[in-house]
């Protein structure tokens, strides 16, 4: 019992540290990447636009507009810093899913455990995506780089959404509902 309590406290602290680091890095990346949004040029999502270009033409357009605005180094900096972020946020999401799954049984527990492992796949997906973005920022947007970048980003965003927008909120609601029923 004492070891289980120690493990729970340790994992809670680790989750808190990972969450704080994730949010801090996300805020830093948002500040650095803010100039990459050029609404007049229909680049409305900043770095996300080059994460999801889908076509050679779109990738080339984005890189050319950033180049004209003197923003290529900003995009490179944000992409390089993302290599740090991708080591933190999947671990935070994974641990959160695992901790919440441990409080349930059955299908919801199994889904949380599976998702806690699956979300770790964001790390190689994001790393691959970053490497492809750096290639595009260097002028290499030949096929299949934009499509491969977009596929990796789509898979990554799907895993993030499944954990952060679906599983974690659902489990917190269920936990609160269970607690209110027991009171």
Burial 143-173 (b: 16+ CB within 10 A, else e): eebbeebbbbbebbeebbebbbeebbeebee
pTM above 0.85, yes or no: yes
User: Residue 88 to residues 27, 32, 85, 115: CA-CA distances in angstroms?
Assistant: 14, 18, 5, 16
- Domain spans, the chain: 2-182
Q: What is the dihedral of CA 15, 84, 75, 156, to 10 degrees?
A: -60
From first to last of its 183 residues, the chain has per-residue pLDDT tens of 566 656 656 788 999 999 999 999 999 999 999 999 999 999 999 999 999 999 999 999 999 999 999 999 999 999 999 999 999 999 999 999 999 888 677 888 898 899 999 999 999 999 999 999 999 999 999 999 999 999 999 999 999 999 988 888 888 888 788 777 766
């Amino acid at each position: 019992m004492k070891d289980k309590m120690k493990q729970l406290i340790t994992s809670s602290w680790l989750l808190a540290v990972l969450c704080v680091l994730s949010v801090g890095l996300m805020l830093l990346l948002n500040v650095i990447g803010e100039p990459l949004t050029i609404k007049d040029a229909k680049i409305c999502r900043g770095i996300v636009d080059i994460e999801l270009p889908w076509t050679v033409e779109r990738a080339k357009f984005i890189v050319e507009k950033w180049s004209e605005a003197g923003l290529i180094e900003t995009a490179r900096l944000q992409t390089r810093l993302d290599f740090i972020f991708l080591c933190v946020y999947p671990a935070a999401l994974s641990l959160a899913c695992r901790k919440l799954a441990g409080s349930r049984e059955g299908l919801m527990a199994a889904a949380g455990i599976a998702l806690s492992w699956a979300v770790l796949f964001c790390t190689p997906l994001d790393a691959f995506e970053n490497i492809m973005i750096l290639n595009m920022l260097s002028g290499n947007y030949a096929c299949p780089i934009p499509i491969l970048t977009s596929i990796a980003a789509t898979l990554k965003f799907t895993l993030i959404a499944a954990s952060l927008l679906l599983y974690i909120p659902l489990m917190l609601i269920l936990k609160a509902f269970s607690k209110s029923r027991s009171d």
